[in-house]
Amino acid sequence: MTSNKIDYIPKIVVCGSCSVDFTTYAPRLPNHGETLHGTKFVTSFGGKGANQCIAAARLGGNTYMISRVGDDQWGQKYKDNLKTAGVDVTHVYNTHNVTTGIAQITVAESGQNQIVIVLGANGHLSKTDVEKSKELIITADVLIGQLETPFETTLEAFKINRGLKLLNAAPGRNDIQEILPYCSILCVNESEASILANHPVVSVKTAVEAIKKILALGCATVIVTLGENGALYASKNDPPTHVFCDKVVPVDTTGAGDAFVGALATYLVSHKDYPLHQIIGAACEVATISVTKEGTQTSYPTNYTPFTKEYKYETL
């Protein structure tokens, strides 16, 4: 007898930004007031929210995007890009008389980058959009938010979701304490952790101190990504743990943090029985793969099999 039962596929919902990246490659990053000759110019799709959503989709996640694009030529192109990646765009809304968000990026030969963003339609993502997407948000198994769209919109979405809430507090700011008690996991890099904790993060030791300060603000678990040094995490019940990653020669570090967040969200539901340090290790591996290629979304791996090894970690 054949069963008609369809297994439930966990939903990963991203409430966040869509931006078009205008990327210039140069031998190094310019100094203040300096003009450099670049080597290449590329137009591509970015925005932290969409990056994270596509990273998750490419790893097999069942992904949905809640965002706003402009009514310019890039709005429909961005929707098509998301659909091609397998992302549900039912809740990607058009914004009249507003441009799609953009990011101006400079990438040095070392792989380091500088980024300036213009919010455009991203700045119009509102509580009304949350209300229109309410059923999807409530039932999301993982809800991902960032700080490239209005804070009050992300806060409202986090208040009503019943699943895991993953906040990537980027770009860094220190006035987001109201949302932290709603966070299942807060993910920040070193500079963002420094701003939020008001404590400079320049080493693993100082990252531990920053995590303690951030945990005291109310979130359940904090992850600080450390670039080539992996990631550090702790919760109210778990001690600080340093997860290591392989070192590679970076080609382009743009979007590596978003690759990490998208992978983390995916593995939290697809490999939920694994310990957190192994899930973080696998997410670090995805981010490491991304920095070995040029571009943002185009650098994210597909058909990737994680957990083929034990990821190294140390409890501090």
pLDDT at 294: 87
Question: Per the annotation, does 218 bind a ligand?
Answer: no
Burial of 292 (0-12, 13-18, 19+ CB in 10 A): middle
Pick the CATH number of 11-17+47-100+121-315 from 3.50.50.60, 3.40.1190.20, 1.10.10.10, 1.10.390.10: 3.40.1190.20
Residue 71 annotated in active site? no
Question: Per the annotation, does 44 bind a ligand?
Answer: no
48-104 pLDDT, tens digit each: 999 999 999 999 999 999 999 999 999 999 999 999 999 999 999 999 999 999 989
What's the whole-number mean pLDDT along residues 300-311?
90
Look at residue 284 and give its three-state secondary structure.
helix
Whole-number average pLDDT of the chain: 94
**Cα separation of the two ends of the chain:** 54
Q: Is pLDDT above 80 for 1?
A: no
Q: Domain locations in the chain?
A: 11-17+47-100+121-315
pLDDT at 8: 84
pLDDT at 3: 47
Of 313, 292, 280, 237, nearest in space to 111 by CA: 292
112-134 pLDDT, tens digit each: 888 888 999 999 999 999 999 99
What's the whole-number mean pLDDT along residues 27-54?
94
Angle at 151 between CA 239 and CA 241, to 5 degrees: 10
Angle at 215 between CA 187 and CA 247, to 5 degrees: 40
What's the whole-number mean pLDDT along residues 162-169?
98
Q: Is pLDDT above 70 for 5?
A: no
200-229 pLDDT, tens digit each: 999 999 999 999 999 999 999 999 999 999
pLDDT at 6: 57
pLDDT at 125: 98
**What H or E segment, with its residue span, contains residue 263?**
helix 256-270
Q: Are 65 and 88 in contact (CB under 8 A)?
A: yes
pLDDT at 254: 85
Question: Per the annotation, does 198 bind a ligand?
Answer: no
Q: Which among 80, 129, 258, 273 is annotated as catalytic?
A: 258
Question: Per the annotation, does 49 bind a ligand?
Answer: yes
pLDDT at 2: 47
Question: Per the annotation, does 227 bind a ligand?
Answer: yes
Q: Are 289 and 301 in contact (CB under 8 A)?
A: yes
Confidence of residue 306 (pLDDT cuts 50, 70, 90): confident
Confidence of residue 4 (pLDDT cuts 50, 70, 90): low
Q: Are 67 and 83 in contact (CB under 8 A)?
A: no
Q: Are 146 and 17 in contact (CB under 8 A)?
A: yes
